[in-house]
Structure 1
């Protein structure tokens, strides 16, 4: 049950505090050593004493973290370095055990950049609520809860073990499964990349992180929907699931592939709440990214500089620099957006959107606030004419619109592909062995009709069915109906 079978193996934990070269074989010894660095580094007799004029800087190599708030922030941060060091050692061992997996090609100098830890790690197991500043002790503490979890009878012979985390009623057939489940509550990672420092929930995701860096000419598996390429068939399958919408907004006809996408849609389209507020003026917004963009306007120094040579323009906001590019340098860029109806080209997607709506009378699909564009083999971005929805969701949409007396997206020519036809497909770019003449004749007799969700039949490409098990995808095609066109 240990993460990826690595708990039992010895590791070499090297301290990277300033010029220290200390090494330990156990986390208890390693954390105790790092605690000595903290005692010498932090001012005052107590770690939680606060000097309003003091800044607390991390001396871990290639880190650069600085906390103006409290020494407790630095303590928590440095202990995470200890935990991160262990995960990187597990990543190194995982790579040694898989000689067919190459090394990460990303920047080695980012290996010690760790996430910002804003508060202590709090255990939310029932009646516990213990707090930890060291993630290693926190995760071990939560694991101890899994050993003490009560069994509950389920029938005459079967028993299940219960998750005691706050607001969770999950149950499992064994404690090993419970421990894996608890990581979804604690966000515990079990391995990190020794090169770039990225952390992962399992070895499979770690190896995928490396395989995605494969040279383009070796990425043989291509998505038929967006043309992205992947090194393995499984990566392609995982990717194509993101094209299938399974969740519908309760307030409109918007459909999304993920619950998080649906939450973001509701927040931005149907909620007036603006929880992110500027400390310098009355501005408020719905997300942190917009707030950071706004804060640039309060900076004394310009945050943005024009990237074109011989241009010295600077701006305090992203909006201003984009406006500058549009007014001054738009002619310097090659037009990448092409109308699929009349082949007129544009440098920006917004201009193509205006063209499609005014010139060709296209309309946005119900519930969707914009058009989406897909890069084709010739390098041009063209309108995405198909969206994929699970069969269950398509049936729900049809029933909802029948009750309202509407056709799907208002288009009588809209086609809902059948369950057998509608699965997303991928292609293998390298041609397989030439089939025999008999196989060719049999294939010609059994060839299925082309449809929007399938790849082009030209060439000997092997197709990969990638629908989610139990949830086949249904492609929704929007046909060329004058004044009623819809697209996505």
Structure 2
């Protein structure tokens, strides 16, 4: 697909919405993520950000990769790097600097600065004429429109599944290859998509929660968690409709899980015994029957595979005690495949 250009700059991004802005730092360029969940951006087929092989620089909040580059005499700086950041990812140099009063991030372009502000205000000026869904950026709307038009131009050569854009296809292919090209520079853990790495950094290392609920003051690591919180705790909005039975849901992930009750799809398969499950939660508990893991402990010394088992145990053995079932295993963030 054609590359999407905004004014004098070009955006290097992936389908999930993590924008990697090439930022000039002396003779180097630092990849600075501008994170926004549930958004999509068009990009070149050649784009592939391999974070493992990049050099690193110390940052105030998180270690980010650095791409070394020789600055040419031209006002437009091209990035040539063996880590597969392609030369088409460019940025116009300039003397102006734009600072976000909310989070303190700096931008050399007013265009990027205005886009970044929408991550705080949730402004969505681009609307779908078919369903009314709104988007922060026009490229996100363009990809969304392919859903209505049925334009799935990118098939998987392994299983035949088709996708609306190259980024989704690349992410899907990693489910076959097991590739996890995004590595945490702090602990070495690898991830399949950059969103998982970003959230991991915030939850495991930095503790950053930049998304604040204006109603109750609770903060969240990712914007989608904030949106679900607002609907669940404050507005009661359920914007995701099942066209089969008419039931409504708070989030798209809840709707997807519900749809499996109609389709019978069982996408989670145990590699040990071959048993398949509709829901990841069921699959996770099942795997613990093989591994022996029991992350839900009771004060009496017993431990259980699931919070449900712990609750049943509490009712039967400790009916007079009030206890909230909690797990030491909280790595349950879900991403679409």
TM-score normalized by structure 2?
A: 0.39
Larger radius of gyration: 1
Q: Which has the higher helix share?
A: 1
TM-score normalized by structure 1?
A: 0.29
